[in-house]
Amino acid sequence: MHIGVIGAGQLGATLAEWCAQSGHDVAIASRHPQELLDMAGRLGDHVLAMPVEDAATYAEAVLFAPPWESAHEAIELTNGALAGKVVIDATNPGEATPDGRSGLETLMEWAPEAHWAKAFNTLPASVLARRRGHDPLLAEFVCTDEPVARRTATRLIRELGFAPYYAGTAETARLTETGGPLQMAECDVLAAKDILAHALTAFA
């Protein structure tokens, strides 16, 4: 599968590397793609650096991992190329949104033609690297309203060495974001059930 990674910080670069290791062809992108050439070279032959629009066009699925303050600009830079694509949102708003909506719901408003899911946003790359592929597998929470996005996110999470755990809809994604009870929840699947149930009760 062709994977686009928008955002070349620690998390984006780490996910790009793991996707390439899993056999995918990866386009990593930021506002300044020329600055990513050395990084792409280090990550292997299956990773290319591209402008944001080109990476979104190239991709069958997109991992969306820019800083939150750059998220709207990143979507604008895709110039509509996210339409029809599964986009896995790994961002976290800097603070809880004042209207109570999740960051994922905000992104869905900005790019409604994409198929959005939330994942890879509750733990830093260092924790993911430490737990990746080790039993019991680390639970990776997934939030989405769309079956096609859920299937794609689930596939990638498994291929990258984690255990997907469906946490609910796009509205529920606020539990995984800044200030939510699932932030920094490092747990396996068995523990994830109880942690999610407590979070849903507390934030009902």
Give the max Cα distance, the chain: 47
Q: List, for residues 93-141, the tens digit of each pLDDT value.
A: 977 566 779 999 999 999 999 999 999 999 999 999 999 999 999 999 9
pLDDT at 94: 79
Q: What's the chain's average pLDDT?
A: 95
**Global model pTM greater than 0.85:** yes
Cβ 86 vs Cβ 38: under 8 Å: no
> Which residue is associated with the tokens 């920094």?
184
pLDDT tens-place string over residues 174-203: 999 999 999 999 999 999 999 999 999 877
Q: Which domains does the chain have, with CATH numbers?
A: 2-202 (3.40.50.720)
Question: Which tops the pLDDT comparison, 41 or 94?
Answer: 41
Convert the pLDDT of each residue in 137-182 to its tens digit.
999 999 999 999 999 999 999 999 999 999 999 999 999 999 999 9
The radius of gyration of the chain's CA atoms, rounded to the nearest angstrom, is 16
Q: In the structure encoding, which two tokens stand for residue 20, read together? A: 């390439």
State which amino acid sits at residue 38: D
The residue assigned the tokens 């994409």 is: 114
